[in-house]
Amino acid sequence: MTDRQPDVTEQIAANALTSSAHSCTYCLFDATTGANGTAVAVCIGPRYFLATAAHVIPESHEFRLVLRDSVDGICDFSARHVHPTIDVGLLELRSVDVPRLGNTFLPAERLQTHADQQTEYDVTVVGFPHELMRQVGELPLSADETLSLRMLSAFTFHSVALPVSEWPAIGTTRTPALGIDVFIDFDPEDSLSFTTARTAGDVPRQTNGQAPLPAGISGGGVWLLRSTQAGAIWHPAPLLHAIQFGFNPDGWLRAATIDSWLDVVDDNYPDLRPEISKIRGESTGQV
């Protein structure tokens, strides 16, 4: 990446692109363990999914999709599927719940399945770190039971995807592979970027100007920030490139390409295979 400071126009464009990525990003709460993760709302054909990491949605656990400005989330899903060897998975939304997410689903044409992994390229990760969760009150449900109300803040982490020549050597976990893995440089001291300025009053103070620990952002999207021109109207269109699922405090985040996530869709939804072939065919341009 360059050290050149962006001008005002570039900053406005970057903020618009980032906000667009945030609009598709949701918090998944594990009601069984009390942990939280992140998911991206995606639409492929007539079906609506939450793309996330497999370890965020363990089998037999109960989940709640946290909705904006609503205490009542979504607890029931049509299906759960995960990749047999890669840490990605999905929850399919019931048709009755789709309208509750409004117009926030990422369309299929914004899934980017290819990138030149021989060189570094700019990416943005959006998620809900557990460190930024805070208690805001309690809601009485009955004379003997209350519901704890907690607020989650999303964060935006701007960085670069590392070229394969700089990938870390990892131990007992799955061996990294081109076309499957993405490793992202993680520097908590200077790479944090909230959607508002760091000096704004709603920036959580506990971060002290540093990025929070990545726990909780698993399942969050790794985005390529681009814009498209539609007639005379500029339209922000970040591309979903990968799903984040792991990190190492020594300096990297690990993600699985969106192509790996599409394998889960392909294996479990034969009716969507024409759509998936189209996605893979249209996103072959190298980043």
pLDDT band at 68 (very low <50, low <70, confident <90, very high): confident
DSSP β-bridge partners for residue 36: 29
Domain boundaries, the chain: 8-273
Asked which of 7-16, 131-140, 160-169, 176-185 is least confident by mean pLDDT, the reply is 131-140
* Residue 246 contacts residue 239 (beta carbons within 8 Å): no
> What is Dmax (Cα atoms) for the chain?
61
User: Nearest 5 degrees, angle CA 207-CA 213-CA 214?
Assistant: 130
Asked which of 42-56, 97-111, 212-226 is least confident by mean pLDDT, the reply is 212-226
CATH fold for the domain made of 8-273: Thrombin, subunit H (2.40.10)
pLDDT band at 170 (very low <50, low <70, confident <90, very high): confident
Residue 84: predicted pLDDT: 95
Beta-strand runs (E) in the chain: 25-30, 36-44, 47-52, 63-66, 79-82, 89-92, 121-127, 134-140, 146-151, 155-161, 181-185, 192-193, 221-224, 227-230, 233-236, 239-248, 252-257
179: left (phi over 0), alpha (psi -120 to 50) or beta: left
Residue 150: predicted pLDDT: 54
pLDDT tens digits for range 133-148: 654 445 555 666 655 5
Residue 216's identity, in one-letter code, is: G
